[in-house]
């Protein structure tokens, strides 16, 4: 069986139209990395990124110094935002900015949304969304005196349209969910959930952190109102890379984000009294843009544009489907459960495997050159990145997991 599965990996690699992109990534020094399966947490760096950063430091920062701001840096949040919108978000120009962190942008947009609907006092969210999303809304609820309506979601699945329909009403100002659930990889039905929320008069807000660069996103087509996401996962922006925010053009004159800073002013260098927001999406900015942190995005957006998001999605489904094959053949007999959707229509870019005691395997996996991700209570997330991960790499990583799981002494079950 193992020989058949390895032959299948080799066949899939040989037929992979995106296989050549693996050569664009830097390899780990020392040769101790066997299988990197955590692209859904931190993407690998591109060789072009190292080159661009060196050139930027030497030529732009070192050569132009402060003149670089007027050479174009000031426009990077919007020009990169527009490029990201075109390549990965299905968003027309003038609606996306790159700035801040996901948490800060979540706060800005969510506060703006509830303030724009003062007659509505409820916000709908789910219990298994990423902690930042929940914490930010809890803070806003305390600030503005609004009620949070919690939808109980199964960590093995995610938010469903029928749950949203039962929760929203005429007092709902905003709904906030993740497009791809961070634990299970559940892919939400954004168009249908948007339709339900809009019918109740609510604004819709989507967290795209686990989908951008891996799953096709059609923000304009789906009628999304607000969205945020990070750039260090499938977009390979690097640790701490800036996030992005999307604000639908029809709402830009209505919503006013609460962190007023000089970069969001209509005339940043007038330095005058009083705050007047810039027109369009630039009003989402607050402080000085993280220019150095944006440099890697230039390289990755070039690569993603070349590959095409639909081709990336096609390979992602093959990769996660292959993970399921290996899990069924090797890990299910060892008591490992798959807690991600098997239906490709509802599966994002990663697969979560669960067994009691899996936390104890993380260190030995790393020692053997295999790097997955762990999420409590007992989940190992297998996150192959379509542009940097081969099928053989998945085979090798899960083979090590199988061998370690076979040897692991499981914790005693409580009666």
State the catalytic residues. 130, 207, 232-233, 381
Token couple for 50:
């190292």
Cα 266 → chain centroid: 30
Partners of 383 in the β-ladder: 38
String of DSSP letters for 125-144: EETTS-HHHHHHHHHHHHHH
Residue 49 is given by DSSP the state: H
Please measure the distance between the N-terminal and C-terminal CA atoms of the chain and give it in whole angstroms.
37
Q: Peptide bond before 150: cis, by omega within 30 degrees of 0?
A: no
Q: How far apart are CA 73 and CA 84, in angstroms?
A: 16
Q: How far apart are CA 208 and CA 316, in angstroms?
A: 16
The three-state (H, E, C) secondary structure of 62-86, written as one string: HHHHHHHHHHCHHHHHHHHHHHHHH
Residue 26 is given by DSSP the state: P
Q: How far apart are CA 253 and CA 261, in angstroms?
A: 18
Contact at 8 Å (CB) between 124 and 164?
A: yes
Contact at 8 Å (CB) between 395 and 9?
A: yes
The Cα-based distances of 379 to 155, 339, 402 in angstroms read 10, 9, 15
DSSP reduced 3-state for 179: coil
Partners of 226 in the β-ladder: 205, 247
Q: Which residues of 207-223 are buried (b: 16+ CB within 10 A; e: fewer)?
A: bbbbbbbbbebebbebb
Partners of 379 in the β-ladder: 354, 375
Q: How far apart are CA 286 and CA 412, in angstroms?
A: 52
Q: How far apart are CA 262 and CA 268, in angstroms?
A: 5
Residue 223 is given by DSSP the state: T
The Cα-based distances of 61 to 68, 263, 288, 363, 366 in angstroms read 7, 20, 15, 40, 37
């Amino acid at each position: 069986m193992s020989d058949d599965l390895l032959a299948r990996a080799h066949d899939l690699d040989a037929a992979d139209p995106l296989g050549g992109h693996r050569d664009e990534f830097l390899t780990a020094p020392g040769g101790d990395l066997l299988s990197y399966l955590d692209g859904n947490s931190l993407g690998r760096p591109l060789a072009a990124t190292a080159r661009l950063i060196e050139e930027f430091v030497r030529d732009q920062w070192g050569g132009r110094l402060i003149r670089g701001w007027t050479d174009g840096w000031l426009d990077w949040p919007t020009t990169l935002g527009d490029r990201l919108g075109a390549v990965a978000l299905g968003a027309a120009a003038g609606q996306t900015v790159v700035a801040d962190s996901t948490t800060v942008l979540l706060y800005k947009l969510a506060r703006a949304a509830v303030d724009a609907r003062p007659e509505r006092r409820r916000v709908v969210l789910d219990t298994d969304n990423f902690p930042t999303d929940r914490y930010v809304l809890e803070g806003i609820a305390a600030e503005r005196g609004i009620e949070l309506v919690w939808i109980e979601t199964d960590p093995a699945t995610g938010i469903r349209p029928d749950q949203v329909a039962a929760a929203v009403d005429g007092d709902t100002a905003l709904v906030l969910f993740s497009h791809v659930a961070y634990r299970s990889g559940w892919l939400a039905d954004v168009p249908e959930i948007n339709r339900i929320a809009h019918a109740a008069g609510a604004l819709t807000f989507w967290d795209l952190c686990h989908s951008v660069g891996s799953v096709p996103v059609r923000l304009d087509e789906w009628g999304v109102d607000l969205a945020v996401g990070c750039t260090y996962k499938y977009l390979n922006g690097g640790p701490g890379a800036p996030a992005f925010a999307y604000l639908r053009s029809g709402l830009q004159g209505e919503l006013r984000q609460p962190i007023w800073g000089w970069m969001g002013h209509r005339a940043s260098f007038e330095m005058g009294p009083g705050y007047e927001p810039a027109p369009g999406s630039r009003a989402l900015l607050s402080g000085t843009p993280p220019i150095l942190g944006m440099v890697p995005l230039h390289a990755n957006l070039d690569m993603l544009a070349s590959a095409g998001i639909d081709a990336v999605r096609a390979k992602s489904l093959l990769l996660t489907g292959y993970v399921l094959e290996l899990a069924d053949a090797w890990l299910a007999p060892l008591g490992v459960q798959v807690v991600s959707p098997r239906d490709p229509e509802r599966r994002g870019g990663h697969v979560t495997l669960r067994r009691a005691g899996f936390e104890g395997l993380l260190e030995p996996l790393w020692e053997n050159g295999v790097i997955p991700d762990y999420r409590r209570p007992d989940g190992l997330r297998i996150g192959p990145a379509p542009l940097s991960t081969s099928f053989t790499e998945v085979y090798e990583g899960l083979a090590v997991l199988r061998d370690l799981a076979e040897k692991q002494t499981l914790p005693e079950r409580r009666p």
